[in-house]
């Protein structure tokens, strides 16, 4: 009887610790972004000119770090239900440190996928800069390119691929029960697989930052909230569809009149 009464308390404690860890890492990521943005020089007087800063190894590293931290701040909160569900299932299967380490590995696998995306986004930013398609505030100088990104992101919201990937993100129990792997390697592999589904859902939304400004924190927050809403809010399917219509419409406006 005492053991049965203790189990809910243990689960509540673990849920609290996992949520605190997710919230803490996310908060630190946003703090970094705010401080990074505040430390950038004012380039408003250079509007319309191509970026002239040479892409040295340190600039590559700093840009990659910016993208990687941004992805943590944007995507980790929406992964919290999946991480919590994994932690609860793991609690019933393991003892001691094995209750915690697999959960850390699961979350790490998820973030590794977004770190890979960050590397690709850094290379894309470098390429756009080399083609003189980026303004100093790190948004595209081409209304056509910006509009095309919005239209593509809007249309993608209605595709079968988007809906299939989003279904996995909305159903933590179904994903974990169907994809469960034991052990530390299994935990990491499951995190990578969940991250891959999440990346498939959201990669075009992340590329919208090239249309509105990579370090436009209002847009960064808006996209993060949209991702959170379409995944986790009841009626998220309608959030996704309404967002798709809005994005496609705005893209058409940019192409025609932007």
pTM score = 0.86
% of the chain with per-residue pLDDT over 90: 60
Q: Cα dist. 6→87, 101, 246 in Å?
A: 17, 22, 49
Q: What is the pLDDT of residue 51?
A: 46
For the stretch 165-180, pLDDT in tens is 988 888 888 899 888 9
Q: How many CB atoms lie within 10 A of CB 16?
A: 10
- Of the listed ranges 2-16, 76-90, 94-108, 209-223, the least confidently predicted one is 2-16
- pLDDT for 3 beyond 80: no
Rounded Cα–Cα distance for residues 110 and 115 (Å):
9
* 39-61 average pLDDT score: 60
Q: What is the pLDDT of residue 100?
A: 79
- pLDDT for 114 beyond 50: yes
- pLDDT for 1 beyond 60: no
On whether the CB atoms of residues 209 and 220 are closer than 8 A, the answer is yes
- The dihedrals phi and psi of 134, each to the nearest 5 degrees, come to -120, 135
Radius of gyration of the chain (CA): 20
- H or E segment to which residue 217 belongs: helix 217-232
Name the pLDDT band for 9 (thresholds 50, 70, 90).
low
CA 9 centroid distance within chain: 31
């Amino acid at each position: 009887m005492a053991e049965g009464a203790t189990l809910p308390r243990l689960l509540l404690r673990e849920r609290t610790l996992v949520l605190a860890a997710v919230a803490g890492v996310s908060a630190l990521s946003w703090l970094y972004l705010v401080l990074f943005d505040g430390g950038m020089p004012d380039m408003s007087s250079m509007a319309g000119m191509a970026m002239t800063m040479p892409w040295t190894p340190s600039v590559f590293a700093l840009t990659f770090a910016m993208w990687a931290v941004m992805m943590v701040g944007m995507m980790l909160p929406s992964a919290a239900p999946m991480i919590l569900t994994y932690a609860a299932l793991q609690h019933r299967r393991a003892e001691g440190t094995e209750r915690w380490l697999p959960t850390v590995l699961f979350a790490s696998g998820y973030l590794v996928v977004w770190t890979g995306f960050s590397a690709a986004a850094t290379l894309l930013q470098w390429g756009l800069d080399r083609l003189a398609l980026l303004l100093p505030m790190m948004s595209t100088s081409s209304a056509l390119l910006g509009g095309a990104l919005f239209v593509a992101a809007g249309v993608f919201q209605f595709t079968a691929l988007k809906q299939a990937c989003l279904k996995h993100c909305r159903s933590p129990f179904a994903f974990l029960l169907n994809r469960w792997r034991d052990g530390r390697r299994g935990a990491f592999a499951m995190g990578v697989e969940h991250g891959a589904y999440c990346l498939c859902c959201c990669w075009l939304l992340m590329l919208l930052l090239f249309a509105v400004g990579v370090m436009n924190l209002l847009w960064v927050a808006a996209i993060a909230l949209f991702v959170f809403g379409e995944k986790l809010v009841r009626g998220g399917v309608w959030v996704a569809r309404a967002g798709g219509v809005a994005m496609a419409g705005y893209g058409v406006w940019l192409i025609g009149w932007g």
